[in-house]
Amino acid sequence: MFFPSGFLWGTSTGAFNIEGAWAEDGKGESIWDQFGHEGHVYMNQTTDVACDSYYKSSYDVYLLRGLQPQLYKFSISWSRIFPAGVRNGFNSKGVDYYRQLISNLLDSNIEPMVTLFHWDLPQALQVLGGWQNESIIEAFVDYADFCFATFGHQVKFWITFHEPWVISYAGYGTGEHPPGITDPGVASYKVAHTILKAHAKVWHLYNDRYRSQQLGKVGLVLNSDWAEPKTPANAEDVRASERYLQFMLGWFAHPIFVNGDYPDILKAQIQEVNQQCSTTVAQLPLFTEEEKSWVKGTADFFGLSHYTSRLVSAGTNSTCTPGYESIGNFSLHVDPSWPQAASSWIHVVPWGLRRLLKFVSQEYTGTKIPIYIAGNGMPTQDGGDVINDTLRVDYFRRYINEALKAVKLDTVDVQSYITRSLVDGFEGPAGYSLKFGLHYVNFEDSNRPRTPKASSLNILNTIQTYRFFLCSPSCGHLRFSYLMPAL
């Protein structure tokens, strides 16, 4: 049993995670630069140098060639292109950096998958209100227009937003990410609304102006856990798990892939909470009928990132204090038998990926829209044996096998698997303490040397094996068993 012909393997990074050179060659300040400088990150770490990939991109491509992927998903730093967030006086050195990176990838037979926004908003735009200010939509469209015109003849895969749930929830709900706003009842929903409209406008821009010449695809990457009822025989827990999926994934997927509007479950739950509390605990913006028709269908693929699963039960402590769980009326749990990764929020639950893929196919994509697994992985801790990352090797083996089951047994149209990430990097509030990379980076060394981990060899072997079995129609009768356990 093996993946279909044309299946795409890849790995990924984000600009603020790896580039460094935070104020060099004309780059403007981003919200992550300021967040680190204000001391909000583990051990006061910053993005100032990170992996130094701005100066080491050629070596990173060399590492990629060693993995032999078909795709490399990376992001453009908006403030490296437009230092103040707007087109006036674009930064030519930033443009040259990305042009060279894209050319090096293509010369290495690796397709670039380019993300326009991976969380690092120009600080100059945050001062104006960031994603709470709808005027940012035009600024984002102008930035996207510049990128399509400048790089689009070489790029076939575009991602508008990477994990907008994280932007809305962690940036404007809990405040764990910049801009550090704690307003889960109003700001989170306003930001999500703005992002959805910005995404739709960029998709239409590409569709109307660039698609016929550049022949690329435009989508976005949505992150989601799988939600399993804590007690499957309990109807309340079943409904709570459905609410959790709709509050996390449906919040963004339903408008784009179903009908241009938020899920009924989400709307009904927020209305119920507000009625019970006799006050506005949460405020979900409304789409006009014109906006609904304009947002619906604005993705050429469904990008999905997935790391873990949750057991979900109905909420027990009803409160009128705005919060993610209180608004959604659910409680989150984990099975104590699930292994925990170095990060407290990631537990290893491989079967959750298969169930999530089947859910996405049934709810959103069917046979018309391909699913790209655009982020999957787990971190290990800093210290100890950082090279022999056997836990990550096992994680990848088991999760890839569940993706294979979804494809072959559930007939889900999955067309890519992209690991997180090529190298260790800056992991948000955790700084450099969590290691997601296939290559270890020594952040104590000013040269930032990279060393392949055991997981990089595992991914190489996986890619090579599948490439062998996808050699031609004549090898279609062969059965795949190396690395993957029997199904």
Is pTM beyond 0.85? Reply is: yes
Please tell me the distance from the alpha carbon of residue 92 to that of residue 80, in angstroms, as a whole number.
9
Query: Residue 230 pLDDT more than 90?
Result: yes
pLDDT given for residue 473 in this prediction: 41
pLDDT at 30 > cutoff 50? yes
pLDDT of residue 472: 40
**Residues in the chain, overall count:** 487
What is the percent of the chain where pLDDT is above 90?
91
pLDDT above 60 (res 229): yes
Residue type at 403? A
The DSSP bridge partners found for residue 450 are 441
Degrees (nearest 5) of the Cα angle 68, 114, 144?
165
What is the C-alpha separation between 416 and 402, in angstroms, rounded?
Answer: 13
Q: Is the pLDDT of residue 480 over 70?
A: no
Instruction: Give the DSSP letter string of 412-451.
Output: --EEEEEEE-SB----GGGTTSEE--SEEE-TTSTT--EE
pLDDT greater than 60 at residue 202: yes
Q: Is the pLDDT of residue 180 over 50?
A: yes
List the structure tokens of 36: 């680190």
Closest C-alpha among 320, 283, 328 to residue 190: 283
Residues 392/356/191/419 CA torsion (nearest 10 deg): 30
pLDDT band for position 486 (50/70/90)? very low
What pLDDT sits at residue 383? 85
Average pLDDT over residues 105-127: 98
For 399-447, the pLDDT digits (tens) are 999 999 999 999 999 999 999 999 999 999 999 999 999 999 999 999 9
Report the relative pairing of strands 450-452 and 439-441 from DSSP bridges: antiparallel
What is the pLDDT, as a whole number, of residue 474? 38
Identity of the residue numbered 451: T
Residue 477: predicted pLDDT: 33
The pLDDT score that the predictor gives to residue 178 is 98
Say if residues 32 and 45 touch (Cβ distance below 8 Å): no
- Is the pLDDT at 475 greater than 50? The verdict is no
**Contact 484/404 with Cβ under 8 angstroms?**
yes
What mean pLDDT is reported for the chain?
A: 94
- Going by pLDDT thresholds of 50, 70 and 90, the confidence category of residue 482 is very low
Residue 484 has pLDDT above 60, yes or no: no
The full DSSP string for 359-400 is: HHIIIIITTTS-EEEEEE---EESSS-SS--HHHHHHHHHHH
| CA-based radius of gyration for the chain | 21
Per-residue pLDDT tens over the stretch 391-403:
999 999 999 999 9
Torsions phi, psi for 420 (to 5 deg): -110, 115
DSSP line for 191-254: HHHHHHHHHHHHHHHIIIIIHHHH--EEEEEEE--EEEESSTT-HHHHHHHHHHHIIIIIHHHH
| Interval 333-386: pLDDT, tens | 999 999 999 999 999 999 999 999 999 999 999 999 999 999 999 999 988 899
CA distances in angstroms from 448 to 205, 340, 384, listed in the order given: 39, 28, 18
Helix H or strand E encompassing 112: strand 111-117
Q: Could you give the count of Cα atoms lying within 13 Å of 193 in the half-sphere of its Cβ?
A: 19
pLDDT in tens, 273-298: 999 998 899 999 999 999 999 999 99
Measure CA of the first residue to CA of the last residue in the chain; give whole Å: 8
Which tens digits make up the pLDDT trace of 52-71? 999 999 999 999 999 999 99
Q: How far is CA 374 from the centre of its chain?
A: 7
Looking at residue 467, what is its pLDDT? 61
330-333, strands of its sheet edge to edge: 226-229, 309-314, 330-333
- The arithmetic mean of pLDDT across residues 244-248, rounded, is 98
Examine the pLDDT at 479 and tell me if it is beyond 90: no
Work out the pLDDT band at 478, boundaries 50, 70, 90.
very low
Q: What is the pLDDT of residues 372-393, one digit of tens each?
A: 999 999 999 988 899 999 999 9
CB 282 within 8 A of CB 186: yes
Q: Mean pLDDT lowest for which of 112-121, 317-326, 332-341, 414-423?
A: 317-326
Q: What is the DSSP string of 126-176?
A: HTTTGGGSTTHHHHHHHHHHHHHHHHGGG--EEEEEE-HHHIIIIIHTS-S
Q: What is the pLDDT of residue 468?
A: 53
Write the pLDDT tens digit of every residue in 137-163.
999 999 999 999 999 999 999 999 999
